[in-house]
Amino acid sequence: MHPHSSEREMPHRWQAIAFYGKTRLFQLRRTVAEIGKRPLEHGKARALIDAPLMAEKRARLWRELRPEEFPLTAGKVENLRIAARAFHGLEIPPGEIMSFWRQLGRTTRRKGFLSGRELREGCIVPAIGGGLCQLSGLLYQAALAAGLEIIERHGHSRVVPGSQAEQDLDATIFWNYVDLRFRSHLPWRIEIELTTDELVVRLRGISGSRQQDPPAPLRLSPPRSLPSGDCLTCGMIECFRHPSAVKENAPALGHSAFLLDARWPEFDRWCAEHSRPGDRWFTPMDGNRWKKPNYQWTAPVGIAVRHATLAALRRSWNQRRLPAQGALRQQVLIEGEKEIARTYARMLHPQCRHVVVSQNLLPHLWRLGALGGRSFDVLMERWPMEEMQRRLDQARAAHPQSTTLGDFRAEEELLQAEREALAAAARLITPHLALAAYFGPRAWIIPWEMPVPMPLLTSQGKPLLFFPASRLGRKGAFELADAMKSGISAELHYLGAADEGIADPFVGLNCSRGVKSDLASASALILPAWIEHQPRLALLALASGIPVIATEACGLPPHEKLYQIAAPDAVALAEVISSVLRPTLSTCVA
């Protein structure tokens, strides 16, 4: 028996029925009293996003829990994620009242709210929307610190040891008659964030708010202490609430979820090595069933796997109707990633404590609030969008005639979301050495998966140079063309149909569109890219003993056949190509 249980009365069903009846009367009375004069529901805006910080308050989301207590705490955190989306970014005009319930609305299962910890009649019991008083309490404390006028606030009727109620800084809420309301004579903004282990409330606004004395708190009874545990651990196993709580909230300690998109063999191996029984994998579709190698992730035996099949099929269909290159294609791809992220967010279980996420889904999940209250690692498969745009701008400045280097530009809100999410991530996992160098000690480097070597063929005539990309500026096409025009005697094969249109740098070169098998007879693979995220053919060339000439941006592993140049540069590239081809040319002359 819990050590405090002897000090408390056993709850009875009649008490619960009476409580239900009283609350409905209070709710009806408040609804009638506020007909035609309820506070306004405020909208989100960005006018005050850079306004001075007036107050910031923090509280822990998680604490050391027994498995029996974890489910209700996980439900509380999920309720806070939903509420954070309703409040984050609100901007309230001068003189207007901010009402907690008017802004959030009633907490129902249909809206996604779950059973959380709620203080009711001296007990911490399971209740839909339970735990939101942690948010209302922080909002109250921040409003006090910012000097806002408190219109309505209620303290808890019982005091949980160690809580803010002991300092009279709590603010309980109960739909709709126990509310939290405050206002300012100047415009102000609310920001809500769930970090890995904290709930954070920030208020921004123009300085000069009037300091107000808080109203006297309204308490239903003198505050009394109660055990810090919840309905599952209070020791009153005969209580009518206890069996239902056990049934709905089986003991647990959480699990990890792997939110994946396109398969990289390196990430597939890492995820399998770091999965544990009870974890869950989410992939766009069953790659084996749909014969899609790009989605053929290999979850360990015993791991539950779920799919976003409809979203993935829509994305695939939209891609097929797009041109091979262009800004429209990039925007449609982003929309497809957003839909898959939204599907994954809906499938995430509240008891998920840790997430491993593919980078392209990261900013969308961050904006949805799905990562709040969880630790997460990122499978880094490309440059951050902000850095990618910087590199493209640098390339465009070098080649203003390009018709493609200005294609990809993401909206500022998406860039900011990725920037914030990457800063909050626990580990950034990648085999790409340039990406790892960019992030420094935060990067977790994993080895590239080297392909099986291919049998080589002896070429006849001029040396063959293999360019494993389309004739695009971001792949170094302009630098390669200038290097070839400097007097290099070789035949050039490239891959892909996309090009620079009227600015095609390969016009006049001894070149032709090839196929992947041409690599077997190549004297060298050339990839002087500004941006290259997944250099698979370069890895195949290295594994097969074919020289590779590439920029550091390709992120390739050290190898005796790898010749790196620091950045795309036609002069440096020509020198390295000539050096690599010299033995081949000597053999041809002999």
Which pLDDT belongs to residue 242?
61
Looking at residue 292, what is its pLDDT? 92
Residue 409's pLDDT band, with cuts at 50, 70 and 90, is confident
Length of the chain: 590
1 pLDDT tier (thresholds 50, 70, 90): very low
**Cα–Cα dist 528/549, whole Å:** 7
The string of pLDDT tens digits covering residues 86-105 is 999 999 999 999 999 999 99
- The terminus-to-terminus CA distance of the chain in angstroms comes to 94
Does pLDDT of 344 surpass 90?
yes
Looking at residue 246, its pLDDT comes to 57
Instruction: Choose the weakest-confidence range: 328-342, 367-381, 427-441, 548-562.
Output: 328-342
User: What is the percentage of the chain residues whose pLDDT exceeds 90?
Assistant: 69
Q: pLDDT value at position 216?
A: 44
Does residue 473 have a pLDDT over 60?
yes
- In this prediction, residues 124-130 reach a mean pLDDT of 83
Instruction: Write out pLDDT tens, residues 146-168.
Output: 999 999 999 876 665 555 555 66
- Mean pLDDT for all residues in the chain: 87
Its pTM stands at 0.87
Q: Would you say residue 8 has pLDDT above 50?
A: yes
Q: What confidence tier does 48 reach under pLDDT thresholds 50, 70, 90?
A: very high
Average pLDDT of span 102-126 = 83
CA distance 570 to 543: 26
Asked whether residue 254 carries a pLDDT value surpassing 70, the answer given is yes
Residue 523 reports pLDDT greater than 60: yes
- Whether the per-residue pLDDT at 269 is higher than 90: the answer is yes
pLDDT class for 244, splitting at 50, 70, 90?
low
pLDDT for the residue numbered 161: 56
Higher-pLDDT residue of 107, 240 = 107
What local confidence, expressed as pLDDT, does residue 567 receive? Answer: 96
Measure the CA–CA gap between 141 and 340, rounded to whole angstroms. 38
With a cut of 90, say whether residue 205 has pLDDT above it: yes
Confidence of residue 21 (pLDDT cuts 50, 70, 90): confident
Q: 139-149 pLDDT, tens per residue? A: 999 999 999 99
3-state secondary structure of 361: helix
443 to each of 376, 427, 539, how far by Cα in Å?
A: 13, 6, 21
The contacts of residue 537 (CB under 8 Å, 6+ apart) are: 466, 468, 516, 519, 525
Q: What tens digit of pLDDT does each residue of 447-468 get?
A: 999 999 999 998 777 899 999 9
> Is residue 132 pLDDT above 80, yes or no?
yes
Is there a contact between 61 and 77 (Cβ–Cβ < 8 Å)? Answer: yes
**CA–CA distances in Å: residue 482 to residues 406, 426, 508:** 21, 43, 11
Inform me whether the pLDDT recorded for 388 exceeds 90. Answer: yes
Split at pLDDT 50, 70, 90, the class of 285 is very high
Q: Enumerate domains of the chain plus CATH numbers.
A: 5-248 (no CATH), 255-445 (3.40.50), 464-589 (3.40.50.2000)
Residue 300: what pLDDT?
94
| Placement of tokens 């989100």 in the chain | 44
Sorting pLDDT into bands at 50, 70 and 90, what band is 233? low
Q: How far, in Å, CA of 92 to CA of 97, rounded?
A: 8
pLDDT band for 247, please (50, 70, 90 cuts): low
Can you give the pLDDT at residue 38?
A: 79
Given a cut of 90, whether residue 358 has pLDDT beyond it is yes
Of the spans 66-70, 285-289, 582-586, which averages the highest pLDDT?
285-289
Q: Checking phi first, is residue 327 left (phi over 0); if not, alpha (psi -120 to 50) or beta? A: alpha
Q: How far apart are CA 189 and CA 263, in angstroms?
A: 41
Write phi, then psi, for 312 (nearest 5 degrees): -70, -40
Distances from the Cα of 348 to the Cα of 36, 80, 178, 365, angstroms:
40, 15, 31, 11
- Segment 22-26 mean pLDDT: 80
| Residue 583 pLDDT > 80 | no
Q: Is the pLDDT assigned to residue 406 strictly greater than 70?
A: yes
